[in-house]
Amino acid sequence: MPNQLLQNIEAELAAINFPNSPKGLYEPIRYVLEGRGKRLRPTLLLMTYGLYCPENIKQALPAAVGIEMYHNHTLLHDDLMDRSDMRHGRPTVHRQWNDNTAILSGDTMLIMAFEHIMACQTGRREEALRLFARSAREICEGQQYDINFESRTDVTIDEYLEMIRLKTSVLLACAAKTGALLANAPEDDAEALYTFAEKIGLAFQLQDDYLDVYGDPTVFGKKTGGDILCGKKTYLLINALNLADNSTREQLLSLLGTHDMPASDKIKAVTDIYNNLGINHLTREAIENFYYQAHSALKRIKLCSNTIEPLWKYAETLLDRKK
């Protein structure tokens, strides 16, 4: 089922009728959408919609496109803020064009996201729009927290989890609940689906943190250790700083602050500290715990298990991913 939905999503994205001009505004948007991301959020929206209206899933496609448009808007601006050069194996918009283009085209994608969701003519659309607006604001809050954390060494696990909930999880949760709202699902089911996807999002981000250190580079698709080299606050680093004794904590902070050490040596030294503190096992346990919470939320839905099973199978593929 997800593969068929993905084909529908790609076809709908390719069919977007962009204005011919100004070319400098819309060409970068086409470029971004051609990047062939995972399309997790629109797939999730269509799957939850299909739980209640399996016979006319295509009616929810405008909203799915809107969610994907918004997600790519955030990536475009994130790449600019992080000064990232590559995304999905291609130059980022600010590198391919310039900073101003990245800002303006990104802003246009935000507006177009709302337009696509507004074009959806099914279910509780107004409620879905309010949820989307709230989620977009929360994602900005999460981004600001992430920026604030860059200059802090006392970030707590609770603060970090709230940041990634806002920055990553709420859009997955919004997608899942939006599908339910557009299908006129019972309110309790819609809330359970929101919680389900929120927990999946937390696990997904922790998996990203984990793979950046312990992933296989040939499978992960990029070199590991990038978060260590830039001193990014991750679930692994925050736990290490909180669990280490004073001597180990000073050693860890010294390693993160040094710039005259070969990258491979720096990555190995920090990873060795993680291993000695059991951070790898701690992170895997946290990932599993969030998936357990997600599964528990899914079980609250008032549908037969056979109907819900494909959605959980899709979630399991995210847990089992290596990249």
* pLDDT, tens only, 237-249: 999 999 999 999 9
296 within 8 A of 198, measured Cβ to Cβ: no
155 within 8 A of 166, measured Cβ to Cβ: no
Q: Looking at residue 217, what is its pLDDT? A: 77
Q: In the chain, which segments carry CATH 1.10.600.10? A: 1-134, 186-323
Other Cβ atoms within 10 Å of 314 Cβ, number: 17
> Cα 106 from chain centroid?
17
Eight-class DSSP state of 56: G
Q: Which CATH number fits domain 186-323: 1.10.600.10, 1.25.40.10, 3.40.50.2000, 1.20.120.530?
A: 1.10.600.10
Phi, psi of 73 (to 5 degrees): -60, -45
Give the closest residue to 109 by CA, choosing from 79, 131, 86, 84.
79
Radius of gyration for the alpha carbons in the chain, expressed in angstroms and rounded = 20
Q: Looking at residue 220, what is its pLDDT? A: 59
How far is residue 80 from each of residues 19, 108, 136, 232, measured CA to CA in Å?
24, 15, 18, 17
Q: Helix H segments across 125-262?
A: 125-149, 157-164, 170-182, 187-214, 217-220, 226-229, 235-243, 246-257
Render 275-313 in DSSP notation, one character per residue: HHHTHHHHHHHHHHHHHHHHHHHHTTSSS-HHHHHHHHH
Amino acid sitting at position 176: A
- DSSP SS3 for 156: coil
Q: Looking at residue 319, what is its pLDDT? A: 77
Q: Which CATH fold topology does 1-134 show?
A: Farnesyl Diphosphate Synthase (1.10.600)
Give the closest residue to 41 by CA, choosing from 125, 144, 117, 119.
117
What are the structure tokens assigned to 54, written together? 């399996």
Amino acid sitting at position 220: F
Compute mean pLDDT per 10 residues along the chain, 323 residues long, and list them.
92 96 97 92 98 96 98 96 90 97 98 97 96 98 96 94 98 98 98 98 96 83 84 96 97 94 96 98 97 96 95 88 56
Q: List CB contacts of 47: < 8 A, sequence separation 6 or more.
A: 1, 2, 5, 179, 310, 311, 314
Q: List CB contacts of 96: < 8 A, sequence separation 6 or more.
A: 28, 31, 90
Q: List CB contacts of 274: < 8 A, sequence separation 6 or more.
A: 213, 236, 240, 280
Q: Looking at residue 25, what is its pLDDT? A: 98
- 131 by Cβ neighbours in 10 Å (0-12 / 13-18 / 19+) ranks as buried
Q: Looking at residue 216, what is its pLDDT? A: 83
Beta bridge partners of 251: none
Beta bridge partners of 90: 87
